[in-house]
Structure 1
Amino acid sequence: MNFCSQCGKPVTQRIPEGDGRLRFVCDHCSTIHYQNPNIVAGTVPVWGDKVLLCRRAIEPRLGYWTLPAGFMENGETVEQAAARETLEEACARVRNLSIYTLIDVPHINQVHIFYRADLVDLDFSAGPESLEVQLFDEADIPWSELAFRTVGRTLEYFFADRRQQSYPVRSEAVPPLSKPTQ
């Protein structure tokens, strides 16, 4: 960040009075520009014993499989964002959304939130950010081709919880990899 979004003057990095973090501060109007994590919202869309996955048509992780998910927009709830992303990426409508996993990814300043959801019908197809979409049962999930660790963790939890017929809300943080892949 080089310029203040309030007045257009240059900003510098410093620790504001009463704060403990380095922040961008406007030298002219004193506006403090907070940089906060991005929220990624998505679903685990279920039809019977299968889960809907999307093969990514965009970077990062082009060609890898993922749950439908994306960045939350201003003015929407997390649940609305999850349903919207499912519609955008898989052209799939979902209902009965229930918060399921909340996974902090602090090394890239993101929080990933997934909802369990029922597919309304089998009318789905690849949206502009997906190469293809497909239903998978647990045995056929392309585990080694999943795009993100948060997706893998959410799917692992889902299939284990389904066997127990209990779906507690899960919360964890993923540490950085020694070799970055996400």
Structure 2
Amino acid sequence: MSERSRIQHCPACGSHVQYRIPPDDNRERAVCPACSRIHYENPLNVVGTLPTWNDQVLLCLRNIEPRRGFWTLPAGFMELGETTSQGALRETAEEAGAHIELGPLFSVMNVRQVGQVHLYYLAQLQDTTFDPGPETIEARLFSEADIPWDQIAFRTVRETLKRYFEDRKHGQFGLHTADIE
């Protein structure tokens, strides 16, 4: 994790933290010298779906940074108080305005460099009416041959799509994991 994203001040008392290995731990943590609280920095979960309609997949053209103007699957950061599947449903509704039936978890991509884990569920579109929210310029269906591969926003999306089309050729969908470096 980069130095600028590290905790600087204790969220409990506001004192400047020190990074050290606390007793009974094996990693450097943000420790408050004033109130002795230990603050843990953990990966963020990105949750989303791979919505399909017949032989097409739904992609969203991003209206926000990073990667504004590039295509992605509907996904975003999981919120506190929701499950991964609830977050995936919410993000699909917010970004694409799509009505889906959620399927099984399809891919888990570890993006260690930015401290994230991306989880994508298979999803079946219930109709082809989309109402994208403000984070999306356009939501559109693509056949495999028409996917703008050079305009895909994130490697996790590209890898998930590649695995989906490969599984579809074999007529069986598995759970895929990868470490994105």
TM-score by length of 2: 0.94
* 1:129 Cα offset (Å): 0.4
Asked if 1:10 corresponds to 2:16, the answer is yes
The total of aligned residue pairs comes to: 175
* 1:70 Cα offset (Å): 0.2
Map residues 22-171 of structure 1 onto 2, 5 A cutoff: 22-171=28-177
> For residues 24-69 of structure 1, what are the alpha-carbon distances to aligned partners after superposition, in whole Å with 9 as ceiling and x for unaligned?
1011121110000000000000111100000100000010000000
Q: Is the 8 Å Cα contact of residues 79 and 97 (structure 1) preserved in structure 2?
A: no
Q: Is the 8 Å Cα contact of residues 108 and 177 (structure 2) preserved in structure 1?
A: yes
SS of the counterpart of 1:36?
coil
* 1:5 Cα offset (Å): 1.7
Q: Percent identity?
A: 50
Q: Is the 8 Å Cα contact of residues 42 and 114 (structure 1) preserved in structure 2?
A: yes
CA RMSD, Structure 1 to Structure 2 (Å): 1.0
> For residues 147-167 of structure 1, what are the alpha-carbon distances to aligned partners after superposition, in whole Å with 9 as ceiling and x for unaligned?
000000000000110111111
Task: Please give the alpha-carbon distance, in whole angstroms, between the structure 1 residues aligned to 2:100 and 2:35.
Answer: 46
SS of the counterpart of 2:145?
helix
Q: Is the 8 Å Cα contact of residues 16 and 25 (structure 1) preserved in structure 2?
A: yes
Gaps of 5+ in 2: 1-6
**Stretch of structure 1 that moved more, 16-25 or 108-117:** 16-25
Task: Please give the alpha-carbon distance, in whole angstroms, between the structure 2 residues aligned to 1:13 and 1:104.
Answer: 25
TM-score by length of 1: 0.93
Task: Please give the alpha-carbon distance, in whole angstroms, between the structure 2 residues aligned to 1:66 and 1:110.
Answer: 16
Q: Is the 8 Å Cα contact of residues 13 and 35 (structure 2) preserved in structure 1?
A: yes
SS of the counterpart of 2:123?
strand
* 1:125 Cα offset (Å): 2.7
Runs (4+) off by over 6 Å: none
**Stretch of structure 1 that moved more, 148-157 or 88-97:** 88-97
Task: Please give the alpha-carbon distance, in whole angstroms, between the structure 2 residues aligned to 1:57 and 1:78.
Answer: 23
Q: Is the 8 Å Cα contact of residues 102 and 121 (structure 2) preserved in structure 1?
A: no
Task: Please give the alpha-carbon distance, in whole angstroms, between the structure 1 residues aligned to 2:166 and 2:178.
Answer: 16
